[in-house]
């Protein structure tokens, strides 16, 4: 949706009017007109990244019955959808991408279906025709289907790609619009669905999902296989339907918390996240009850393409956060916070992504403050602020708005520090102006009022005006809400967080990077991971511009003195390698190769290939060689991005 600031007032007036009559809608000119009978349900808002027409017919529940074939790399079976529709409706439109649809039935027999044109981003519309619905009717529609071996949501790992090395592994990643590559449903965050599943896996493998696990030990199935059943009774956006199958085990951490992972990693993982239960308790104390029952963590093999993914009841996380010293646990605070911001109150469209990630980044920091104290929280805020400054300098102005225009674009384009860090800075600004007590009361109420609902940027503005600003003109002016949401850059009321702990770190960084002092003067050993991150994040713009250019001798001094070649903390390795690549520092190449071939987290992998590529004659052959080696181990999410930089290696 394109929106100019002059058009803003009328858009707000329109959305207020629609909200008042119980509708929130927008008709896209490229869509065929709705049938006269179609009325938009409450909160309906057009999602340009889905073919679905929920105002005509919508999915309420998905029941999966799937068999995992690790040899063919295929999930096959049925998805039985509970559908409601407007009286007279004769079709439902689902989203699918790169999937084999074999047949569709209702309880009376086969139904006709058609697959639409294949859009590279959106996939295909799957239109299913049926006899006209009558008022209030619910119907079950069963789709027989199979996924393809290269389904973008799924990664099928060979035993060699796991920690144990003995058994294969499968996991899914739905966000933003990948669920449609393994579940034929309406794949839009505004179309919440409950789900249930029976997953049949080969003997010796265990299946887990983002749902209540009904059969912890599994049930006997044909050929020695075992079936696992699941149930999610809260309606969720389809991007939160998630599955993993592997040699995984469970360790309890707290009363409602625990860790799933491969047996050889179980102890280290459970120890790393020993404070999970305290995090849940702190989160509930801040913003109301945790509504999902258990909160468990699944630590995946190293190819998991994200740091974490907030799949309900079962956060999926990269093993690169198991640092051994609990230094990167803010990731768990983040994914846990999504149990409110994102999973309870959900961005209605991907243009509203900042409502998920900005709120969550703010909430994450409040959990960190409650469990680990103010100083740690301030350091994390300050690191985020630094990332935000870098992002603001790099992105085109239009992409530095919180509410972004994604017309014709992949929702992944919105995955920047703007959504996360500008979003969090916005909420911190409101907190500072109204005071923490008042802000917390509003935010708690926001989660309660809007629980299990999609949220648009306009609805957020309406909520905060109705429940916090309450017509106070002076406050309205001070907050600059519209500037934050719709204008590029940072409004004038933004304030940088200040961490006192970083003052000596910055002094040491200046002494080394700018004033060319010795590495022996850096009090590295006394520093926490966050202080070390701050040191290594020293003015990347200066490094790029050559102002603080380091000689090979200085880099060697740094590498040896800080023992960077043997560093194990993934964030520090990444930061060091970025410096090394920018300087074409040859001795760091073994470490770079090891890092790029031992994990596939896109946040680390993509910037390193991009930096190599930027180094022309020096970096491109290195990137090409390393990528050809590493690519077979990466998830489709990561290869999809890196292919765009390095190109697809020949024969892959
Ligand atoms: N929900 C996101 C991951 C995501 C976003 C996946 C958009 C696909 C599309 C998750 O909560 C997240 O933000 N993960 C971060 C870690 C976090 C601590 C900032 C990540 O993966 O780096
Ligand atoms: Zn997040």
pLDDT at position 549: 86
| 410 has a pLDDT exceeding 80 | yes
pLDDT at position 539: 72
User: Mean pLDDT in the chain?
Assistant: 93
pLDDT at position 546: 66
Q: For the chain, give percent helix, strand, coil, nearest 5.
A: 45, 20, 35
Mind spelling out the 3-state secondary structure of 310-376? Answer: CCCCEEEECHHHCCCCCCCCHHHHHHHHCCCECCCEEECCHHHHHHHHHHHHHHHHHHHHHHHCHHH
What's the whole-model pTM score?
0.93
| Count of other CB atoms within 10 angstroms of residue 170 | 21
| 20 has a pLDDT exceeding 70 | no
Of 392, 386, 338, give the one whose Cα is nearest residue 361: 338
- The average pLDDT across 417-427 equals 98
Q: Whose CA is nearest to atom 1 of ligand 1?
A: 309
Does the beta carbon of 423 lie inside 6 Å of ligand 1? no
Does the beta carbon of 601 lie inside 6 Å of ligand 1? no
Which ligand does the CA of 315 lie closest to? 1
| 91 has a pLDDT exceeding 50 | yes
- Give the span between the Cα atoms of 585 and 576, in whole angstroms: 11
> Which residues contact residue 337 at a Cβ distance below 8 angstroms, ignoring those fewer than 6 apart?
283, 359, 360, 363, 364, 367
Over the stretch 169-187, which tens digit does the pLDDT of each residue have?
999 999 999 999 999 999 9
**Which pLDDT band, with edges at 50, 70 and 90, does 38 fall under?**
very low
Does the beta carbon of 603 lie inside 6 Å of ligand 1? yes
Q: Whose CA is nearest to atom 12 of ligand 1?
A: 308
pLDDT at position 39: 42
Does the beta carbon of 421 lie inside 6 Å of ligand 1? no
298, 301, 307, 310: CA torsion to nearest 10:
-30
Distance 364 CA to ligand 2 centre (A): 9
Over the stretch 565-620, which tens digit does the pLDDT of each residue have?
999 999 999 999 999 999 999 999 999 999 999 999 999 999 999 999 999 999 99
Q: Whose CA is nearest to atom 3 of ligand 1?
A: 309
Distance 360 CA to ligand 2 centre (A): 6
- Give the span between the Cα atoms of 360 and 333, in whole angstroms: 9
- The average pLDDT across 106-113 equals 98
Q: Which of ligand 1's atoms lies nearest the C-alpha of 338?
A: 11
pLDDT at position 543: 62
Over the stretch 540-575, which tens digit does the pLDDT of each residue have?
666 666 678 899 999 999 999 999 999 999 999 999
Cα separation of the two ends of the chain: 37
- Give the span between the Cα atoms of 645 and 641, in whole angstroms: 7
Which ligand does the CA of 332 lie closest to? 1
Over the stretch 373-409, which tens digit does the pLDDT of each residue have?
999 999 999 999 999 999 999 999 999 999 999 999 9
Q: Whose CA is nearest to atom 8 of ligand 1?
A: 175
pLDDT at position 22: 31
Q: Classify residue 480 as left (phi > 0), alpha (psi -120 to 50) or beta.
A: left
Does the beta carbon of 401 lie inside 6 Å of ligand 1? no
Distance 175 CA to ligand 1 centre (A): 9
305, 308, 311, 316: CA torsion to nearest 10:
80
Q: Which residues are catalytic?
A: 335, 420
What percentage of the chain reaches a pLDDT higher than 90? 91
Does the beta carbon of 336 lie inside 6 Å of ligand 1? no
Distance 602 CA to ligand 1 centre (A): 10
CB 137 within 8 A of CB 85: yes
pLDDT at position 6: 28
Distance 34 CA to ligand 2 centre (A): 35
Summary count for the chain: helices (H), strands (E): 21, 23
Over the stretch 213-242, which tens digit does the pLDDT of each residue have?
999 999 999 999 999 999 999 999 999 999
| 11 has a pLDDT exceeding 60 | no
Kind and range of the H or E run holding 309? strand 308-309
Q: Tell me the torsion sign for CA atoms 300, 303, 308, 313.
A: negative
Kind and range of the H or E run holding 432? helix 423-434
Does the beta carbon of 557 lie inside 6 Å of ligand 1? no
| 124-129 vs 113-115, strand pairing mode | antiparallel
Which ligand does the CA of 358 lie closest to? 2
pLDDT at position 360: 99
Does the beta carbon of 331 lie inside 6 Å of ligand 1? yes
- Give the span between the Cα atoms of 357 and 429, in whole angstroms: 16
Pocket test for ligand 1, best of 242, 306, 350 (most atoms within 8 A of CB): 306
Q: Whose CA is nearest to atom 2 of ligand 1?
A: 309
| 644 has a pLDDT exceeding 80 | yes
- The average pLDDT across 317-323 equals 98
Distance 307 CA to ligand 1 centre (A): 6
Does the beta carbon of 45 lie inside 6 Å of ligand 1? no
Q: Which of ligand 1's atoms lies nearest the C-alpha of 176?
A: 9
pLDDT at position 9: 29
CB 151 within 8 A of CB 99: yes
């Amino acid at each position: 949706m394109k929106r100019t600031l002059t058009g803003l007032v009328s858009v707000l007036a329109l959305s207020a009017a629609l909200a008042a009559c119980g509708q929130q809608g927008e008709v896209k000119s490229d869509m065929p007109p709705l049938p006269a009978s179609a009325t938009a349900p409450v909160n309906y808002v057009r999602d340009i990244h889905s073919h679905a027409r929920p105002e005509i017919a919508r999915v309420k529940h998905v029941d999966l019955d799937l068999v995992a074939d690790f040899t063919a790399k295929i999930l096959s079976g049925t998805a039985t959808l509970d559908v409601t529709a407007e009286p007279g409706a004769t079709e439902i439109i689902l989203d699918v991408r790169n999937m084999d649809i074999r047949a569709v039935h209702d309880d009376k027999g086969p139904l006709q279906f058609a697959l639409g044109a294949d859009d590279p981003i959106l996939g295909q519309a799957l239109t299913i025709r049926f006899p006209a619905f009558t008022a209030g009717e619910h119907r079950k529609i069963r789709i027989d289907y199979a996924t393809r071996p290269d389904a973008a949501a799924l990664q099928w790992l060979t035993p060699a790609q796991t920690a144990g090395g003995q058994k294969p592994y499968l996991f899914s990643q739905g966000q933003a619009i990948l669920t449609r590559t393994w579940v034929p449903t309406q794949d839009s965050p505004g179309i919440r669905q409950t789900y249930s599943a029976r997953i049949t896996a080969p003997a010796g493998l265990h299946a887990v999902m983002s749902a209540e696990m009904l059969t912890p030990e599994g049930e006997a199935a044909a050929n020695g296989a075992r079936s696992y059943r699941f149930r999610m009774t809260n309606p969720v956006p389809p991007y939160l339907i998630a599955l993993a199958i592997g040699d995984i085990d469970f360790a309890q951490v707290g009363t409602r918390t625990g860790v799933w992972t491969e047996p050889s990693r179980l102890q280290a993982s459970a120890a790393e996240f020993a404070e999970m239960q305290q995090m849940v308790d702190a989160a509930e104390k801040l913003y109301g009850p945790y509504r999902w029952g258990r909160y468990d963590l699944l630590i995946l093999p190293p190819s998991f393409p994200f740091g974490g993914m907030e799949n309900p009841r079962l956060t999926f996380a990269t093993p690169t956060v198991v640092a051994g010293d609990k230094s990167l646990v803010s990731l768990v605070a983040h994914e846990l916070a999504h149990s409110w911001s994102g999973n309870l109150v959900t961005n209605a469209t991907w243009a509203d992504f900042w409502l998920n990630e900005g709120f969550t980044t703010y909430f994450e920091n409040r959990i960190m403050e409650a469990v680990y104290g103010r100083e740690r929280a301030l350091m994390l805020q300050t690191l985020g602020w630094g990332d935000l400054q870098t992002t603001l300098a790099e992105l085109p102005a239009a992409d530095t708005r919180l509410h972004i225009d994604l017309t014709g674009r992949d929702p992944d384009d919105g995955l920047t520090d703007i959504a996360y860090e500008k979003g969090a800075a916005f909420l911190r600004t409101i907190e500072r102006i109204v005071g923490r007590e008042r802000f917390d009361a509003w935010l708690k109420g926001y989660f309660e009022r809007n629980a299990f609902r999609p949220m648009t940027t306009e609805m957020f503005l309406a909520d905060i005006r109705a429940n916090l600003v309450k017509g106070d003109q002076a406050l309205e002016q001070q907050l600059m809400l519209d500037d934050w949401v719709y204008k590029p850059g940072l409004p004038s009321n933004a304030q940088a967080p200040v961490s006192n702990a970083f003052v000596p770190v910055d002094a040491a960084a200046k002494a080394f990077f700018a004033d060319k002092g010795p590495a022996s003067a850096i009090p590295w050993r006394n520093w926490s991971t966050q202080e070390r991150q701050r040191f290594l994040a020293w003015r990347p713009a200066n490094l790029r511009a050559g102002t603080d250019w380091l000689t090979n001798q200085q880099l060697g001094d740094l590498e040896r003195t800080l023992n960077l070649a043997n560093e194990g903390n993934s964030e520090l390795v990444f930061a060091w390698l970025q410096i090394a690549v920018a300087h074409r520092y040859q001795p760091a190449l073994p470490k770079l190769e090891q890092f790029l071939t031992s994990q596939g987290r896109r946040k680390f992998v993509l910037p390193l290939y991009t930096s190599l590529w930027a180094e022309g004659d020096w970096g491109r052959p290195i990137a090409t060689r390393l990528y050809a080696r590493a690519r077979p181990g990466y998830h489709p999410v990561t290869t999809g991005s890196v292919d765009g930089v390095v190109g697809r290696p020949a024969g892959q």
